[in-house]
Every structure is written in structure tokens, then in C-alpha cells.
């Protein structure tokens, strides 16, 4: 296998799309850059199996976001209500996840990158948040995959990774519509049961 040393961040970002093509299938990338994300990109470039590479990029982004918000409470949660829900007469709790079947009493049961990147304006006006464009490693995804990442709320990690792997916008649209219908039906059933108990 050939070796290629990456020693310039800007060149790496510029050539990222070229480096992930079949032309570099037999190339082992190395780097001397002291930058955590560049190292992760190089690591991803060295994963030659497509599904494994997608999983690596996905998990890297989720972990980086989790680390960034560790110990912070940017949504201002108090008694399970975020700053928006603390408004008088608001009966909702658990933030904007309340309409999702993947929510549990201990938080999200899955790892959803789209949700992790979402913050409403009440938060973004006050705090610095990680945005899509801050995750340079996402440059490794195609335009279609980026659109999927931006619009995969309420899905599980596995469902999103499957969509990214297949890469079909049509299938993604159908799967999203089915997912949302199932989710809304289940939520309506839960609410109906709760009403009956009361």
C-alpha cells in the first residue's frame, strides 16, 4: 500500500473528496497535524469499507457534539422543562423531544446526529452551538448524504446510517414518511391511553 502524508489542514479540506475516491483505495494516509478533527478525517480515509467509514464519521460527530455540551445546560432544563416550556401555562415537558417515540425517562434511547445539531433560536441567541459547517469531517459525505443528515429527526442511529449507506433520496423520502406516520400513530395511542387512565 502507498503512503501519503497529510501535513496541511487546508489542503486536506480541499482534497477530501478526491482522497475518498477509488484512486486512493490503496493509499494509507498519515498525518503529523496536531488537530483532533484532521486526525479523525485521516482515520476515516483509512477505513476502506464504505459502511464502516460512514459509521465512523457518524459516531465521531455525535461524540464530538456530546463532548462539547458535556456539563452544560444550554436548554436551561429545570424539572424536565426547557426554557421554552417554563413559560406560564405550558403543559409540555422534556424539551422538543416530547413528540418522539425514542424518548425515555433517561433521555434519548438512540444517537441521532440531526437532533444533536438542532437548537432553537432561544438557545442560539445566547450560546455558541456546534453547527453543521463546524464538523469538517462531514465534507466526506456527498450532497445527498448531507441533506439526509440535515433532515433525519426522530430516527434511530441505525436507520440514519442505513439511509446514508444506500444514498437514495427517493428511498430516504419514503422511509421518512413511513417512519413519521408510525411514530405519530404510536404517540396518538399513548396519549389516548393516558387520557383514559385520567
Task: Among 29, 56, 119, 141, indicate the residue that binds ligand SF4 (CB under 6 A).
Answer: 119
The answer to whether the beta carbons of residues 97 and 115 sit under 8 Å apart is yes
112 part of the interface to ligand SF4, by CB under 6 A: yes
79: left (phi over 0), alpha (psi -120 to 50) or beta: left
CB contact set of 122 (below 8 Å; sequence gap of 6+): 83, 84
- Burial level of 36, CB count in 10 A (0-12/13-18/19+)? exposed
Task: Among 16, 47, 84, 187, indicate the residue that binds ligand SF4 (CB under 6 A).
Answer: 84
Over the window 38 to 77, marking each residue x when it contacts ligand SF4 by CB under 6 A and - when it does not, the resulting string is -------------------------------------x--
Neighbours of 19 (CB within 10 A): 19
97 part of the interface to ligand SF4, by CB under 6 A: yes
Nearest residue to ligand SF4 on Cβ basis: 95
Over the window 132 to 171, marking each residue x when it contacts ligand SF4 by CB under 6 A and - when it does not, the resulting string is ---------------------xx-----------------
115 part of the interface to ligand SF4, by CB under 6 A: yes
6 vs 2, 63, 177, CA distance in Å?
Answer: 13, 24, 42
Strand partners, 3: 28
Contacts with ligand SF4 by CB under 6 A lie at 75, 82-84, 95-97, 100, 102-103, 108, 110, 112, 115, 119-120, 122-123, 153-154
Amino acid at each position: 500500500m502507498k503512503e501519503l502524508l497529510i501535513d496541511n489542514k487546508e489542503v486536506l479540506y480541499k482534497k477530501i473528496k478526491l482522497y475518498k475516491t477509488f484512486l486512493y483505495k490503496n493509499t494509507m494516509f498519515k498525518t503529523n497535524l496536531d488537530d483532533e478533527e484532521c486526525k479523525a478525517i485521516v482515520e476515516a480515509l483509512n477505513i476502506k469499507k464504505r459502511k464502516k467509514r460512514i459509521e465512523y464519521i457518524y459516531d465521531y460527530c455525535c461524540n464530538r457534539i456530546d463532548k462539547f455540551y458535556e456539563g452544560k445546560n444550554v436548554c436551561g432544563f429545570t424539572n424536565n422543562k426547557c426554557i421554552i416550556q417554563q413559560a406560564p401555562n405550558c403543559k409540555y415537558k422534556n424539551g422538543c423531544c416530547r413528540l418522539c417515540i425514542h424518548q425515555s425517562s433517561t433521555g434519548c434511547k438512540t444517537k441521532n446526529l440531526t437532533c444533536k445539531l438542532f437548537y432553537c433560536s432561544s438557545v442560539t441567541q445566547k450560546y455558541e452551538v456546534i453547527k453543521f459547517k463546524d464538523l469538517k469531517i462531514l465534507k466526506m459525505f456527498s450532497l445527498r448524504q448531507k441533506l439526509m443528515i440535515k433532515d433525519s429527526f426522530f430516527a434511530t442511529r441505525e436507520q440514519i446510517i442505513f439511509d446514508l449507506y444506500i444514498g437514495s433520496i427517493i428511498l430516504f423520502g419514503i422511509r421518512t414518511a413511513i417512519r413519521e406516520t408510525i411514530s405519530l400513530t404510536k404517540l396518538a395511542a399513548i396519549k389516548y391511553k393516558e387520557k383514559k387512565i385520567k
